[in-house]
Every structure is written in structure tokens, then in C-alpha cells.
Amino acid sequence: MEEQWRIATYDPAWRQMFLETGLRLREALEDKALRIDHVGSTSITGLDAKPIIDIQISVLHLDKLPDFQFDIERVGFVFREDNPDQSKRYFREAPGNRRTHVHVRQAGSFSEQMTLLFRDYLREHPVDCLKYAEEKHRLMSLYKEQRSSMWRAKVL
């Protein structure tokens, strides 16, 4: 299995990985998913990133976990009940599979919209995208052995 805790050079295969997984999720969820988006750094052409595919699924009611949990698990993801972020329901790949994060958010919520706006902003502003990549490399070199510290530094 590929080392995931690193910043990798952009890989055009990330888009195809999302499309394949997104299609499986769409087939499983049908109309329970209002939208399924490739988000995070791997969704931005040319941006160096941790080689982890992030998928955001927008649902009508976040508090109705049983409505979508089984369908997502059927595709091969594991619900992470220990996720402290109450703005989403979080799923990860089953052990032994390629690293993928599935973030289920309520459609129209602040967290859903901010995720999409940040992605779209970086797609349209190459100078800021480059600055963001440089900062990610800097933080990785500082916090290589301290994942939670890097995450906190990146979001501040």
C-alpha cells in the first residue's frame, strides 16, 4: 500500500479514482445523495497533495444516518463514529483498501458550501493555489511526525 502521509506531485489518475468511486457511491445511494463531489487537494489539477481521495456527499438530512450509512458501507467504507466534527458524518476505506475519505454533509450547510468554495477558488486562482501548495510542503517538513499538529496548522 502506498505511503499516504506525504505530499505527492499531482497525479491525473486521482480524477479517475474519484470517478470510479463516485459512480459506485451514486449507484448505491441513488437519490439519497443530492450531489457527490471530488473535493480536497486531489480535486485540483496541478496541486500537490496527500494522495488521499476526498469525496463529499451532500444529503438532505445529516441527522438521518441510517438513511445512508448502510449504502456507503456496502460500497466498502467504514463509518467513523469517533469523528469529532459534528458538521459531517465521516467514512474511511475498509482496511487494506486505497485511502479514501468520504465526508457526508447536509446540503446547503456552511461546511458543505465552504468545502466547495475553497476547492473552486483554488481551481480559479493559480497563484494562490501555488502558495497553498508551498505552505503544505512547508508544514509537512515541520510536522512530518506530528499529524494532528500539521492538520491544525493547515486549517488556521
pLDDT in tens, 6-29: 899 999 999 999 999 999 999 999
Lowest mean pLDDT among 81-85, 123-127, 138-142: 138-142
pLDDT in tens, 62-72: 999 999 999 99
Q: Inform me whether the pLDDT recorded for 105 exceeds 70.
A: yes
Domain boundaries, the chain: 13-125
Q: Inform me whether the pLDDT recorded for 2 exceeds 60.
A: no
- Written as nine digits, the cell of 118 is 475553497
Strand order in the sheet with 100-106: 35-39, 53-59, 100-106, 89-93, 77-79
Helix, strand, or coil here: 122?
helix
Q: What is the pTM of this model?
A: 0.89
Query: Could you tell me the fold of the domain covering 13-125?
Result: Beta Polymerase; domain 2 (3.30.460)
Cell 494522495, located at residue: 51
The strand pairing partners of 147, in sequence order, are none
Quick check: 54 and 38 in contact, CB under 8 A? yes
- Select from 64, 101, 104 the least CA-distant residue to 87: 104
- Which pLDDT does position 136 carry in this prediction? 87
Direct distance between the N- and C-terminal alpha carbons of the chain, in angstroms, rounded to an integer: 31
pLDDT in tens, 71-89: 999 999 999 999 999 999 9
